[in-house]
Amino acid sequence: MKRSRSTKPTKAVKRCDLLSSPANAGKACIVHEIVDRHRRAAPLVACEQWRLFFETGEFDPTADSRIVKMPAGPARDRRTTEITVIKRTVGSAARAQMLRRQVVGQLRSWMSNCVNEFRDIVETSNLDERTRHMLHAVNVRQAWHMLGDVTFGTAKEVVPNEIRRLARRVLKAVMAQHRKPSWTCLSVQLDQREVRLSPTRNATQNGSVTHWLEIVAAGVGKACVPLIGTPPFLVRKGPRANTVQISRSREGRLSFGVVTDVTDACAASRAAYRPKMETLALDFGLTRMFATDLGDLIGRKFLKRLISIDATIQGIARHAQRAGTKLRDCSRYRKHVARMRGFVSTEVNRVFNRIVETHAPSHLLLERLDFSNPALSRRMNRLVQNCGRSSLAAKLVDLVEKFGIASEEVDPAYTSQRCSSCGHVHPSNRNGDHFQCRRCGLTLHADVNAARNIRQRRSLPALDEALLRPGSNVRPLRGRRRTLEVLRQDFERRHPEEHRLRRWSGCRSRGCGPAAYSLHEPLRFAWDEVRRAA
């Protein structure tokens, strides 16, 4: 039921700042050439890595150094040619090495998504327990194409070949469903072999330039690129990394990512943080971004602003469609989407900063966040969903690193329908923003009630299977039905006198079925009477 997001800060904490550069055309030309070569070589490296993956079962970032161990023969000759072509395309051995590491990183992260999907497919399949166990063992080691034996269980049994074949077929189906990583927007990482970052001494171009980046790129040329430090970058305390990441937008704008190691600064701020309360539960919604269980509603204008951005973006999209241009080639569209992303991430940051400032919790409880809303268009829903989740995940990591505030995700099922006072669940307890319990009459803002439910969800007792009604335990309960059963049992423990009302008697309200527990019908009549009397 509970899933901990992250409880401990990672060892090294790093922050990357994107700096712009007023470089002249000559210098910019050299940087563009480096980026172009990198992007030309990336598909070659990816091709090499995919081949290694299907031949040996894994990606290999050190593929170029392994070649000396290979026996002489056509295979080694083919590998040598492959490596030479990559090196020649990219311009130097150092950059080819960096590129290989970068490509392998992206491929591994793409594969890890496939691992998750593979797991879900196997878990929901009707295969027998033992086959599923073996498939999971292959999947978790990512050993679909690996050459040696794969063992499973405590007895270390070997997974037979037909199961390995089945695993490869499942993987193939999973991989076919997703687009492989694209390399057209790849950024370039250069390490200390080719770049050096230093603060400016005298040539500051009227004070705007704060750093100089010396690039000595073998096979391309040398350039000393001026960088403009942003205020957050300049105040960041800690050693700067020797690696610089160069990215280029579709418009051809260059930006330079400089990484600062802020481990010590974060340790100091964690030590200085004094929590005022133990746990704060948050209910998330687009209308009001967060409601806390203490009753505050934060980020009230979020949806309104998104709707107005949505109208603009939809207008641009319609216009582009009439003119027959592709959206991704439309610079106005990209500009507005970038602005929207900026807005969402700023808003997420602002709201969390405010929560930390006012309540200073040591622990956050959240539900799994859904950034979709029927008031937004399908396109906008997709855009907001993507950028909302990533900025939220980044902010939660930041909170752990900076203040040691851990966060935990709880199951959100029925948090909006359950009364946080008596525990009664019914779909019509909630009406828009208004929550009124049909049983005890508790009246609250619906989001605040949900936040209180989220807090209580942590301390709910586990499901007692023995208490299930006969006939309903034929299949083990999963998902929302399981949660509902837990809530029902909890309710009955707290209100044993209402047992007699339990039989389901054909309540026809929305969302209520035989699986839902059945305090509804008699209460509905009671409620109707109350309404008639009012």
Q: How far is the CB of 182 from Zn ion (least distance, A)?
A: 52
The least distance separating Zn ion from the CB of residue 374, rounded to whole angstroms, comes to 27
With binding defined as CB under 5 A, does residue 530 bind Zn ion? Answer: no
For Zn ion, the closer CB: 345 or 421: 421
Judged by CB under 5 A, the stretch of 36-44, 308-316, 433-441, 455-463 that binds Zn ion is 433-441
Sheet holding 443-445, edge to edge: 430-431, 434-436, 443-445
Distance of closest approach, residue 498 Cβ to Zn ion, in angstroms = 12
Radius of gyration of the chain measured on its C-alpha atoms: 29
x/- mask, Zn ion, residues 279-308, rule CB under 5 A, reads ------------------------------
Please say which residue, 377 or 421, places its beta carbon nearer to Zn ion.
421
Listed ranges 3-11, 146-154, 441-449, 460-468: which one lies at the site for Zn ion (CB under 5 A): 441-449
* Binding residues with Zn ion: total (CB under 5 A): 8
Which residue lies nearer to Zn ion by CB, 112 or 443? 443
Q: How far is CA 411 from CA 3, 366, 379, in A?
A: 8, 9, 27
Q: How far apart are the first and last CA of the chain?
A: 41
The least CB distance from residue 449 to Zn ion, in Å, is 9
Q: Does 440 bind Zn ion (CB under 5 A)?
A: yes
Q: How far is the CB of 463 from Zn ion (least distance, A)?
A: 22
Task: Say whether residue 114 binds Zn ion (CB under 5 A).
Answer: no
Using CA atoms, how far apart are residues 208 and 20, in angstroms rounded to an integer?
11
Closer residue to Zn ion, CB minimum distance, 373 or 417: 417
**For residues 302, 303, 309 and 314, what is the CA-based torsion angle, rounded to 10 degrees?**
160
Q: Please report, for the chain, how many H helices and E strands are present, in that order.
A: 14, 18
Nearest approach in angstroms of CB 288 to Zn ion is 22
Neighbouring-strand partners of residue 408: 4, 365
Q: Which of 83, 437, 463, 507 binds Zn ion (CB under 5 A)?
A: 437
- Compute the least distance from the CB of residue 524 to Zn ion, in Å: 14
User: Rounded to 10 degrees, what is the CA torsion of 281, 285, 290, 294?
Assistant: -50
Long-range pairs of 384-392 with CB within 8 A, sequence gap ≥ 24: 384/286, 384/306, 384/340, 384/344, 387/340, 387/341, 387/344, 387/345, 388/344, 388/348, 391/341, 391/344, 391/345, 391/348, 391/349, 392/348
Letter string b/e over residues 466-502, b meaning 16 or more CB atoms within 10 A of that residue's CB: eebeeeeeeeebeeebebbbbbbbbbbeebeebeeee
- Is 111 or 523 the residue whose CB approaches Zn ion more closely? 523
Distance in angstroms (rounded) separating the CA atoms of residues 300 and 520 = 33
Q: Residues 386-425: x/- map of binding to Zn ion (CB under 5 A)?
A: ---------------------------------x-xx-x-
Smaller CB separation from Zn ion, 260 or 449: 449
Q: Which is nearer to Zn ion, 444 or 463 (CB)?
A: 444
Given the complex with Zn ion, which of 79 and 424 has the nearer CB atom?
424
Among 211, 439, 452, 520, interactor with Zn ion by CB under 5 A: 439
Read out DSSP for 254-265?
A: EEEEEEEE-HHH
Helices (H), 256-377: 263-272, 302-323, 331-359
CB of 504 closer than 8 Å to CB of 514 = yes
- Within 13 A of 457's CA, how many CA atoms are on the CB side? 32
Find the binder of Zn ion among 241, 320, 442, 477 (CB under 5 A): 442
Q: Which is nearer to Zn ion, 127 or 442 (CB)?
A: 442
Q: How far is the CB of 413 from Zn ion (least distance, A)?
A: 18
Minimal distance in Å, beta carbon 421 to Zn ion? 5
CB of 224 or CB of 422, closer to Zn ion: 422
Query: Which residues lie near Zn ion (CB under 5 A)?
Result: 419, 421-422, 424, 437, 439-440, 442
